[in-house]
Structure 1
Amino acid sequence: MKVRFYLISDNIDTAIGLRLAGVMGTVVHGREETLEAFNEALQDETVGILLITELAAGEIQEEINSHKISGKLPLVFVIPDRHGWRGDKNFITRYVEEVVGVKMNE
């Protein structure tokens, strides 16, 4: 069985850009559409990696977290859209600092 990427995006520009790279997907608006697309992608056994734009992910964060904790496929990655990353740009550094207990930037 061939495993593929799939995109859930809140905007057409990101969907078109990734489509040019061969990633199929859907554009959603609002929580209901986002949740429906997410659940459909989870049921599709050919989807191995699910990409979801940051704003779309914000609509269903609890469901995404629950799926990640389950350890089941597909792997879910939140990605920035055409406007770039809106969240904390240093979240990885801060996470490592918390885990290791050592401040990395001073």
Structure 2
Amino acid sequence: MRVHLISDNVDTLVGMRLAGIAGVVIHQRDAVLRELKQVMEDETIGILIVTEKIMALAREEIMDIKLKENRPLVVEIPDRHGPTRGSDYITRYIKESIGIKI
């Protein structure tokens, strides 16, 4: 199984390439949707890494893949500027998901 990156940032792509991960840099929603379609058609891709900004461009489509498809595993990462979500993101996520305050 291969890992594929869809990034909005060249620096993120270069760093991933150093780790042996191929990918693309995209800035428009329609290009993200085309790339997602190609990833879904490629049976050799087992993990898809997307940056937060890419997730924001195609949140609904990426969430459909995460929730409804068996492959690939989708992982969202921050770009080189750090996370855009607040520092309490995980706590808020748990609270929103299951209603438990931590």
Partner of 2:55: 57
The CA distance in 1 between the partners of 2:57 and 2:95, in whole Å, is 28
Give me the CA root mean square deviation.
Answer: 1.4
Equivalent residue in structure 2 for 1:70, among 49, 68, 71:
68
- The one of 80, 83, 86 equivalent to 1:85 is 83
What is the total number of aligned residue pairs between the two structures?
101
Partner of 1:47: 45
State yes or no: 1:12 paired with 2:2: no
TM-score, scaled relative to structure 2:
0.89
Q: What is the CA-CA distance between 1:29 and the residue it aligns to?
A: 1.6
CA drift at 1:100: 5.9
| Structure 2: distance between partners of 1:100 and 1:57 | 24
Gaps (5+ residues) in structure 2?
Answer: none
2:33 to 32, 35, 59: 35
Pick from 20, 23, 26 the counterpart of residue 25 of structure 1. 23
Per the TM alignment, residue 65 of structure 1 is displaced from its structure 2 partner at its CA by 1.0
TM-score by length of 1: 0.86
CA shift for structure 1 position 74: 0.2
